[in-house]
Amino acid sequence: MQNSSEESRGMKLLKKGQKGLVSVIFSRTLLIILSLVLQVFILFMFFHWFQNLLPHFWGGSLLFSTAMVIYLINTEINPTAKLTWMVIIMLLPVFGCLLFFYTQSEIGHRAVRGRVEQLITQTGGILPQNENIREELKAEAPECAQLSTYINRNGCQPVYKNTEVKFFSLGEDMWQELLTQLEKAESFIFLEYFIVDEGLMWGTVLEILARKVKEGVDVRLLYDGTCEFTTLPHDYPERLKKLGIKCRMFAPVMPMISTHYNYRDHRKIAVIDGKVAFNGGVNLADEYINRINKYGHWKDTAVMLKGEAVSSFTLMFLQMWNITEKNPGFEKYLNLSESVNSHGFVQPFGDCPLDGDKVGERVYMDILNTASNYVYIMTPYLILDGELETALKFAAERGVKVRLILPGKSDKAAAYALAKTHYRSLMKSGIEIYEYTPGFVHAKMFLCDDIEAVVGTINLDYRSLYHHFECATWMYDTDCIEDIEKDFELTLEKCRRVTPDTIWQGSKVLKPVGYLLKAVAPLM
């Protein structure tokens, strides 16, 4: 609990009642919601008209559905998603078909995809791979070297040595270190977060940012546009700009239906002077530091990097920031960090939902497929496609100890119910599942054989693996892996082990809800 002096700390730009759903009826958000509802109604009536019209043409509805099923079978869509779409189209032929083509049409994000591809092409060689480091990793761990090569296939996410990694087992510990590092900033501060909310955590950060701007530091904040619905008003970037802080919303909500809204910026990145970077599950809101209690104790993790690998996070931020910028100018912000004499290999990586390359899922699957002794996992959500579920089960079935730590209290009832639909199948293969009794686990973490780990933003659900911009830090034989292993064991002591008899904990609602939602899980 914070003391009374901390309660008055921090800058606030909003008056009481000016944020979140409370402000909806007083802002443009209500007009946007009404506009979107109206458009959905018009689309539904359009689909309904076709639905009533088509059966008059020689049983066209049945032929239409059959043709669509054949088409789906021959697409490159994930098999689990194919099954979902088949169910929808068989039940609602015309509506389901038109909805499918609408979601696949890329309406609203075609331009963004083109710009992202252009930026990746432009920066492909800007962070070249040190071939000596690649060869060292290959000699020490050939299978990990292959994974590293895959991560860097687009040419801008190399593997590094000379990087120190510090692990934080709680959001409040990461926050205190972030404040310390922000105070040291001399050149620039780049922040990219999924959620920003006014309170003690963001207020203390904002206070430092406003002061640093006056000292001549280039301060930039990029946050996801969904904050407009929950935590911040639409004009918040303008309020920050009055303080001298450059601010942008990624995909702000507009009064137009678009598939672009399906792709969110779920990354959490902080870069100071190109010398220090933070990454992990921690957003800039008070629940992440247990200042407020939403779902019991909030368990999160993060890492801080010092050394050469910081450049990769700087580049990731600039790629997102410059989606709307014509003259990016990347070079002056890169390769600013001094080499740090440290142990092991570090490879920050990003995952873009627009390129068809599921980097996050493939990194996780590679760890499962190459593990020898154990794989320990923390994740807030467990909504698996067939490939990832098979990888988890196969690892356990070939003798690898697979342990999953999930929340004991949920933040989303639907996601919690869906996660439980996987429990029985996973446990049959020998996977141990634990639930964190003090509250909610938000950490996204893989640990393998005391030597390999991933800490980042990537959940085990369709949102993270297929639809979000994500990032993470892959590590091999770094000093902090021992701390990660200790944290997992300590967290395990606060968990209850799930058995086949305790999956649903006597709930009469969760079980049917979970099995019903599983039919449409890929669309959630």
Average pLDDT, the chain: 88
What is the structure's pLDDT at 56?
52
Helix/strand/coil for 411: coil
What is the structure's pLDDT at 25?
41
Q: How far apart are CA 204 and CA 145, in angstroms?
A: 41
Question: Closest Cα to residue 432, out of 408, 404, 394?
Answer: 404
Helix/strand/coil for 128: coil
What is the structure's pLDDT at 259?
56
Give residue 230's pLDDT band: very low, low, confident or very high (50, 70, 90): confident
Mean pLDDT confidence for 48-55: 60
Long-range pairs for 109-118 at CB < 8 Å and ≥24 separation?
Answer: 109/258, 109/259, 109/260, 109/263, 109/354, 112/260, 112/263, 112/323, 112/354, 113/354, 113/355, 115/323, 115/324, 116/319, 116/323, 116/352, 116/354, 116/355, 117/354, 117/355
Q: How far apart are CA 452 and CA 442, in angstroms?
A: 20
Please give the biggest Cα pair distance in the chain.
76
User: Is 289 exposed, middle or buried, given 0-12, 13-18 or 19+ CB atoms closer than 10 A?
Assistant: buried
Q: Is residue 368 predicted with pLDDT exceeding 90?
A: yes
What is the structure's pLDDT at 119?
84
pTM for this entry:
0.90
Give residue 7's pLDDT band: very low, low, confident or very high (50, 70, 90): very low
Q: Is residue 238 predicted with pLDDT exceeding 80?
A: yes
3-state secondary structure 427-485: HHCCCEEEEECCEEECCCEEEECCCEEEEECCCECHHHHHHEEEEEEEEECCCCHHHHH
Strands 345-351 and 468-476: antiparallel
pLDDT of 269-298, one tens digit each?
999 999 999 999 999 999 999 999 999 999
Strands 495-497 and 432-436: antiparallel
What is the structure's pLDDT at 502?
96
Q: Helix, strand, coil shares of the chain as percentages rounded to 5?
A: 45, 20, 35
Task: Supply the DSSP symbol for 299.
Answer: E
pLDDT of 91-145, one tens digit each?
777 677 777 777 776 666 666 777 888 888 888 889 999 999 999 999 999 999 9
Helical (H) or strand (E) element with 166: strand 163-168
Give residue 26's pLDDT band: very low, low, confident or very high (50, 70, 90): very low
Of the candidate ranges 100-109, 266-275, 375-384, 420-429, the one whose mean pLDDT is the lowest: 100-109
What is the structure's pLDDT at 46?
66
Mean pLDDT confidence for 37-55: 63
pLDDT of 390-421, one tens digit each?
999 999 999 999 999 999 999 999 999 999 99
Mean pLDDT confidence for 242-249: 96
Mean pLDDT confidence for 344-359: 92
What is the structure's pLDDT at 54?
54
* Contact (CB, 8 A) for 246 and 221: yes
In the chain, what is the straight-line distance between the N-terminal and C-terminal CA atoms, in Å? Answer: 36
Mean pLDDT confidence for 25-50: 58
Helix/strand/coil for 468: strand
Q: Is residue 24 predicted with pLDDT exceeding 50?
A: no
Give residue 58's pLDDT band: very low, low, confident or very high (50, 70, 90): very low
Lookup: tokens for 363: 């990194």
Mean pLDDT confidence for 232-245: 94
Residue of 321 and 229 predicted with greater confidence: 321
Q: How far apart are CA 260 and CA 356, in angstroms?
A: 15
What is the structure's pLDDT at 262?
72
